[in-house]
Amino acid sequence: MDVQIIDLGKQTIEEEIRALNRLKECLDESFEKAVKLILEAQGKVIITGMGKSGLIGKKIAATMSSTGTPAFFLHPAEALHGDLGMVEKKDLIIAISNSGETPELLAIIPILKRWGNKIIAITNKRDSSLTKYADVSLYLNVDKEACPLNLAPTSSSTATLVLGDALAVALLRLRNFTPENFAMFHPGGSLGKKLMKVADIMRKDLPIVCEDTPLKEAVIVMSEKGLGSTLVLDKDNNLTGIITDGDLRRFINKGKSIDNSLSKDAMTKNPKTASPDWLVLQALELMERHNITVLPVVEDKKPVGIIHIHDILKSGVI
């Protein structure tokens, strides 16, 4: 193992950590003003920047959009050739330029300013041309790139990315963005699936018998529904028990007869249950902890659904 190569990696990381600490130290009321401007915006947040700043801008736009702040990225060069038509006067602009002198940005920012768009600048130069057009300027305070040539955007691009995350998270908190909101914006992704609710996957065609139903009839119900279990209700339709394949085996092993027994004789009383608004992962944790494969879903003691471990596997949550 070449220790020198590892040291080079560590030096780069340490240099970028130092840059982030400088960014943290200089965060001031301008950050608060920027967040309030975004909250007050009646339109979308449009993020623009060239080169590495543009790549970071795309990520910031994606993070904001997925956490409750509608945003998209506008390439400044394309904006000069027609894409400015995507911008409405009520939109807010976040312009990113390390030098604050990016020609493509300075070609479109004055136009947007004349239209009345509010502009937030993210730059590493306090007295740059970009800051003169901005309503609020956020200063990166990076004095040196991690690149040993001090040329390739490294510390500055990292600081920009983290500042964008800080904006997005502050907005998320102030908008009271919930896990349910997050799941709504991520229906097809693994993150959204982890926020799936029990109500989304539970079966509603329930295997049900009464406490006094002959046990042999309960066995037929279990077979028909194909879940290897049936729910047992009292006279008020409240869930009082469950009969599973395992319950039947244990019942027979004790020398008891299916032909001469009632459902309540073989059921597990007061079974573990889930609520429809539980996360599927909560239900899974309960099932694993108690080594069960079928879980009734109840509201006000009455069954409204049932989930099998196979349903969870099929959902893609795990």
Domain positions in the chain are 3-177, 198-315
Q: What is the pLDDT of residue 313?
A: 87
**Confidence at residue 196, expressed as pLDDT on a 0 to 100 scale:** 82
Residue 184: CB atoms within 10 Å: 12
The token pair at 186 is: 């991520």
Beta-bridge mates of residue 121: 95, 137
Q: What is the mean pLDDT of each run of 10 residues along the chain (318 residues)?
A: 85 96 96 97 96 97 93 95 94 97 96 96 96 97 94 95 97 86 64 78 94 94 89 95 93 90 94 93 91 94 94 82
Query: What was the pLDDT predicted at 113?
Result: 95
Q: Which CATH number fits domain 198-315: 1.10.287.3240, 2.40.50.220, 1.10.620.20, 3.10.580.10?
A: 3.10.580.10
249, 237 contact by CB (below 8 A): no
What lies within 8 Å, CB to CB, of 86 at 6+ separation is 46, 72, 74
| Count of CA atoms in the C-beta half-sphere (13 A) of 148 | 3
Residue 2 vs residues 7, 11, 82, 108, 297: alpha-carbon distances, Å: 9, 15, 52, 49, 57
User: Is 75 annotated in some ligand binding site?
Assistant: yes
The burial of 83, by beta-carbon neighbours within 10 Å (0-12 exposed, 13-18 middle, 19 or more buried), is given as middle
CB atoms within 10 A of CB 257: 11
Closest among 63, 64, 66 to 92, alpha carbons compared? 64
The structure's pTM equals 0.68
Three-state SS annotation for the chain: CCHHHHHHHHHHHHHHHHHHHHHHHHCCHHHHHHHHHHHHCCCCEEEEECHHHHHHHHHHHHHHHHCCCCEEEECHHHHCCCHHHHCCCCCEEEEEECCCCCHHHHHHHHHHHHHCCEEEEEECCCCCHHHHHCCEEEECCCCCCCCCCCCCCCHHHHHHHHHHHHHHHHHHHHCCCCHHHHHHHCCCCHHHHHCCEHHHHCECCCCEEECCCEHHHHHHHHHHHCCCEEEEECCCCCEEEEEEHHHHHHHHHCCCCCCCCEHHHHCEECCCCECCCCEHHHHHHHHHHCCCCEEEEEECCEEEEEEEHHHHHHHCCC
CATH code matching the domain that covers 3-177, chosen among 3.40.50.11540, 3.40.50.10490, 3.40.50.300, 1.10.1060.10: 3.40.50.10490
Please give the pLDDT value at position 317.
76
The pLDDT assigned to 178 comes to 77
